[in-house]
Amino acid sequence: MPIDILMPALSPTMEEGTLSKWLKNEGDSVAAGDVIAEIETDKATMEVEAVDEGKIGKIMIPAGTENVKVNAVIAVLLEEGESASDIGSGKKADPAPAPAEEATEAKPEAAAPVPAAPKAPVENTAAADPSIPDGTEMVATTVREALRDAMAEEMRANEDVFLMGEEVAEYQGAYKISQGLLQEFGARRVVDTPITEHGFTGIGVGAAMAGLRPIVEFMTFNFAMQAIDQIINSAAKTLYMSGGQMGAPIVFRGANGAAARVGAQHSQCYAAWYSHIPGLKVVMPYTAADAKGLLKAAIRDPNPVIFLENEILYGHSFDVPKMDDFVLPIGKARIHKQGKDVTIVSFGIGMNYAVKAVEELSGMGIDVELIDLRTIRPMDLPTVIESVKKTGRLVTVEEGYPQSSVGTEIATRVQQQAFDYLDAPIITIAGKDVPMPYAANLEKLALPNVAEIVDAVKAVTYTA
């Protein structure tokens, strides 16, 4: 069967080009690799080589033609024993999305039918939290200790798990999260790095591709911006790009968001940033129990997990069940408090404000259902929607910037999926749309506050 020779794409951005010259004529024999034509793109003049062996049966696009679309048929190659009269039954040389019924001119705009886009997998396949047996002792634990315990337990259980980062070993962690780990696991598994985020993140991802289970600590996530290329281009995409052959089972963890008075370069929430990226999971716990259970899950997860902690929460104490192996499902929200009048969705340090607002509101007779998202990606929307169906009102609370925030994402999806249940516009509360100022008064103004949440709840419930 005659073979169509198509206009090749000669650069990633090329859509059309000029067929400047034919180096073979109709009737000429060509071998694979022979230069048959020259093509001018926007960037350069390129030679076109024959891929198959045969005889040029017909030249479809004459030399000098401009604006020849990529994938248009430029000539037809006859195989042994074929003649020009066979042309028309031509099979396309692959890739062959372009049509070529008419022998006289290319019609690249007549595109092949677009296959239906495959449906994205259904979200929230996460299991429910494991039940905590009756009579389990609850131990008051700081988030700091919970994180350390999670790492220590997983390192004991799996020799491939190791921790690396700035000041994680001898200094015991800049925020003392890795306290005691060097002493227990030694310098092979608790590794101090120089201040070279881009480099050690790449090293971590490489080690994960080779099958180890790195935990990479960023002193704060502000410094992960030095390394964000390796996180997104290497860690998040390798599984997909390798057709599933290899991924990067790695945890990137550290303090995220504003601390106190550390200014614009050290006070940013990355929840929305990373939640944008397919190929990542993004976890942002509030309580110590969630910090422990979810960090253990993150370390076991075969995917890259961004684990966003908060410096202010490190010292907060919560009950953590005393269990041998307390692991929580990634991708599952937790109903922090049940209520019927209005739903508040928050996560991480945002919960700190929300919890206080809920208390205040309950004094005013407003019964809030407070949902702690816990995981930003994959997002447990069903839990949110179920709640909104009950309350008809939704307020989201977070510390990050307002544009393209986690809250706006939730709002979009809720109005798409539960529009009929809403009794008021959704209000999204976020940090102000400014770099974090240093001055104490301005910093306070830049952060979300309890009064804002109370006002928002009053607004959506139409209470004066």
Partner 1 sequence: MATRKSATAASRKKPAEKSGLNGGITEFDKETELEAYREMLLIRRFEEKAGQLYGMGFIGGFCHLYIGQEAVVVGMQMALKDGDQVITGYRDHGHMLATGMEARGVMAELTGRQGGYSRGKGGSMHMFSKDKNFYGGHGIVGAQVSLGTGLAFANKYRGNDNVSVAYFGDGAANQGQVYESFNMAALWKLPVIYIVENNRYAMGTSTARSSAQSNFSLRGNSFGIPGHQVDGMDVRAVHAAAVEAVAHCRSGKGPIILEMLTYRYRGHSMSDPAKYRSKDEVQKMRSEHDPIEQVKARLLELKHASEDDLKAIDKKVRDVVADSADFAQNNPEPDPSELYTDILL
Ligand X SMILES: Cc1ncc(C[n+]2csc(CCOP(=O)(O)OP(=O)(O)O)c2C)c(N)n1
432 belongs to the binding site for partner 1 (CB under 8 A): yes
Q: Does position 251 bind partner 1 by CB under 8 A?
A: no
- Of 48-56, 107-115, 345-353, 431-439, the segment contacting partner 1 by CB under 8 A is 431-439
One of 11, 196, 412, 463 touching partner 1 (CB under 8 A) = 196
153 is catalytic: no
Q: Which of 437, 452, 455, 458 binds partner 1 (CB under 8 A)?
A: 437
CB of 285 to ligand X, least distance (A): 23
Long-range contacts of 268-271 (CB under 8 A, 24+ apart): 268/221, 268/222, 268/400, 268/436, 269/308, 269/348, 269/398, 269/399, 269/400, 269/401, 269/431, 270/221, 270/224, 270/306, 270/308, 270/400, 271/308, 271/347, 271/348, 271/376, 271/398, 271/400, 271/406
Tokens at 158, concatenated: 């799996």
As given in the structure block, the two tokens for residue 189 are 């598994």
Q: Select from ligand X, partner 1, none the partner in contact with residue 446, using the beta carbon and a kind-dependent cut-off of 5 to 8 Å.
A: partner 1
Choosing from 185, 223, 273, 318, the residue that interacts with ligand X (CB under 6 A) is: 223
Binding segment (CB under 8 A) for partner 1, from list 195-203, 232-240, 291-299, 345-353: 195-203
Answer yes or no whether residue 195 interacts with ligand X by CB under 6 A: yes
- Taking Cα atoms as reference points, which of 314, 347, 321 lies closest to residue 145? 314
Neighbours of 229 (CB within 10 A): 13
Amino acid occupying residue 256: N
Contact set for ligand X, span 226-255 (CB under 6 A): 226
Q: How many Å apart are CA 355 and CA 336, to the nearest integer?
A: 9
For residue 278, CA distances in Å to 18, 132, 232, 269 come to 38, 32, 9, 19
Binding residue for partner 1, selected from 21, 69, 198, 389, defined by CB under 8 A: 198
Nearer to ligand X by Cβ, of 217 and 290: the residue is 217
Q: Of the residues 197, 217, 398, 409, which is catalytic? A: 197
Q: Is 266 a catalytic residue?
A: yes
Using DSSP's 3-state secondary structure scheme, residue 198 falls into: helix
| Continuous segment of H or E residues that includes residue 453 | helix 450-460
What is the rounded CA–CA span in Å between residue 205 and residue 188? 17
199 lines the binding site for partner 1 (CB under 8 A): yes
> Does 174 participate in binding partner 1 (rule CB under 8 A)?
yes
Compute the residue count for the chain.
Answer: 464
30 near partner 1, judged by CB under 8 A: no
- 219 binding ligand X? (CB under 6 A): yes
Give the integer Cα–Cα distance in Å for 250 and 111: 42
CB atoms within 10 A of CB 422: 18
Touching ligand X, residues 175-194 (CB under 6 A) = none
Tell me whether residue 268 or residue 287 sits nearer to partner 1 (CB atom). 268
Q: Which of 82, 145, 154, 266 is an active site residue?
A: 266
Contacting positions for ligand X (CB under 6 A) = 166, 195, 197, 219, 223, 226
Q: Hey, which residues are catalytic here?
A: 197, 266
Contacting positions for partner 1 (CB under 8 A) = 166-167, 170-171, 174, 192, 194-196, 198-199, 222-223, 225-226, 259-266, 432-435, 437-442, 445-446
